[in-house]
Amino acid sequence: MSAFEDYKFAPAEFAGMVRLFPIPNLVMFPHVMQPLHVFEPRYCDLLDDALQDDRFITLAVLAPGWESDYEACPRLQPFGCLAKIVISQPLDDGTHNLLLAGLRRVCLLSELPPTKTYREAMAMVCEDMYPPDGADQRISLTRDLHEQLSELLPQLPYAREELEQLLNTRMSLGVLTDVLGYSLNLELADRVTLLSEANVHRRAELLLGHLKAARSDCRSNAPGLACFPPAFSDN
C-alpha cells in the first residue's frame, strides 16, 4: 500500500465527466491498487483517451441482469470508483495490462449521450464523512476493527502477513475501512453497499459485522480474506 501515497487525488484535476469501465464482478475501492487486463476494443479506446488526458478511469459495477445487455448499455450500480492509471503495459496482441490506483468513490449522476465507443457519465465525488463530535466513537471503532483482525490471525495462517500489515500500518479509519472492504472475501452486494457508504462510521460498523461473520466462517474452514495481492481482472 505504500506505493499508493504517490497518487494523491487533486480535486482541481477532476472536471466531473467520467469514462465508465463497467465490470460485473469487481468492486474497486479508494486507497487500493488493482491490476486490470484490457482487451475489448471499446475499452482499449477508453484507455487511449485516458492516457492522452488525465489518466482517469471510473470502474463501475454492472447491476444484476447485465448479461442480456452486456454489449450495449446494461444498468449500472449508482456508485463507482474513480481510479488513476499508474502503469499501462501494451501487449503484442493489442491488449493491455494496467495497474490502477483507486482515488475516490463517485456517485454517477447521469449518463451522457453516446459519442464514443465507450460510455461516459457525469459524476460527483463523495468524500468521506465523519459524524460531528464523533472523535471518541472513531477511536472505538478503529480499536474494535483492530481487535477483530487480531483475533482472525490464528484462524487465517495463509493471510497472516497481510493482516499484520494492516494492523501495523497507521491509517485513518476511512482508509482502513476501504482497504478492508476491498480485501475481505465479501459477497458482491456487500462490497457494493460498502462502496456506496460515504459515512465512515457506518462503513466501520458494517465491516465489524462482516469480520465477526468471517471468524465464524474460518471455524468452518471458509476463507475470510481475499487473495493478496489481487489477481488481474479482465474486462
Neighbour tally for 235: CB within 10 Å: 21
Residue with cell 477511536: 139
- Tens-of-pLDDT digits for all 235 residues of the chain? 334 444 678 888 888 999 999 998 899 999 999 999 999 999 999 999 999 999 999 999 998 877 677 667 888 999 999 999 999 999 999 999 999 999 999 999 999 999 999 999 999 999 999 998 889 999 999 999 988 888 876 666 655 676 677 777 788 999 999 998 998 888 999 999 999 999 999 999 999 998 887 766 655 444 445 544 445 455 5
Nearest-angstrom CA–CA distance, 182 and 192: 10
Fold type of domain 2-127: 2.30.130
